[in-house]
Amino acid sequence: MGRPMATRLLQAGYSLVAWNRSRSKAEALSALHADVADSPADAVRDADIVITMLEAGPAVAEVIQLAMPSLQHGALVIDMSSTRQSEAQAMHTILLERGVAFIDAPVSGGVVGAETGTLAIMAGADKEDFARAEPVLRVMGRPTLVGPPGCGQVAKLCNQLIVGGTLAIVAEALLLAQAGGADPVAVRTAIRGGFAESRILEVHGQRMLERNFMPGGQVKSQTKDLENVLIAAAAAGVHLPVTELVTQAYRSILDTLPNADQSAALLALERLNPGKRVGDAPDRLP
């Protein structure tokens, strides 16, 4: 995700200094006239705006800690990773004490959205900081201010809750069609265009029918996000029974299929229904 997002910024004329733990990934941006830094501290030394796109909250905290000595007073840090709300709020507090502004701005839309600049960007920020960041964010997608710092992560969790739940329901629908004697391919065709239509039915429904579980989004990432949904729900004092069931399904395949596509929700469902299977194609697995 980071590379196409950085590419969009460079193509829009922004000067950019890149750092990645795998230096070769940062050097791939050199052809677009990005500078490559040897460390996070070097990368942020002269930056007005710093953008991080990392695997999870602990990685964000580690990189920002390494960059901290060189962060300019008045700089703005935009973390576009998917983390816990509490992690984003803690980062906001730490940076505020050093005179550095913070926005949590996780994204949805995948690599294609990053490449085309159509990411959904959910921003938790003060209004003034969001106004400062908005022109940069618009290069990468459609930013929306959803609340104060930390709320971008809540919005992303809402997104992942809907994605995970819909994946599970699409899997159930296709398995029911097959088990009930209908052609699941024809059933999917028949219900598309009605109220059940969705991007997940379109893309991941087809993946399930083809039994193509080569990643895109991965089981381990979807499980992490759903676990974070439940943590946020507990902190907010709400009970999400459907999300609990969907999380349990993903946990059941996490040990054996961590790198499979998130559409492997179908495989979790089939394990609960021995002898029932959608289609007769072999599984394509990483």
Q: Which residues are catalytic?
A: 156
Residue 143 · residue 137 · CB < 8 Å: yes
What's the burial of 120, exposed, middle or buried (CB within 10 Å: 0-12/13-18/19+)? middle
Kindly state the tokens that stand for 144.
């929306």
Helix (H, G, I), strand (E, B) or coil at 279: coil
Amino acid at 92: H
Residue 83 · residue 104 · CB < 8 Å: yes
The DSSP element (H or E) to which 79 belongs, if any, is strand 76-79
Taking the mean position of all CA atoms in its chain, how far away is CA 208? 21
Q: What is the DSSP string of 96-153?
A: HTTT-EEEE--EESHHHHHHHT-EEEEEE--HHHHHHHHHHHHHHEEEEEEESTTHHH
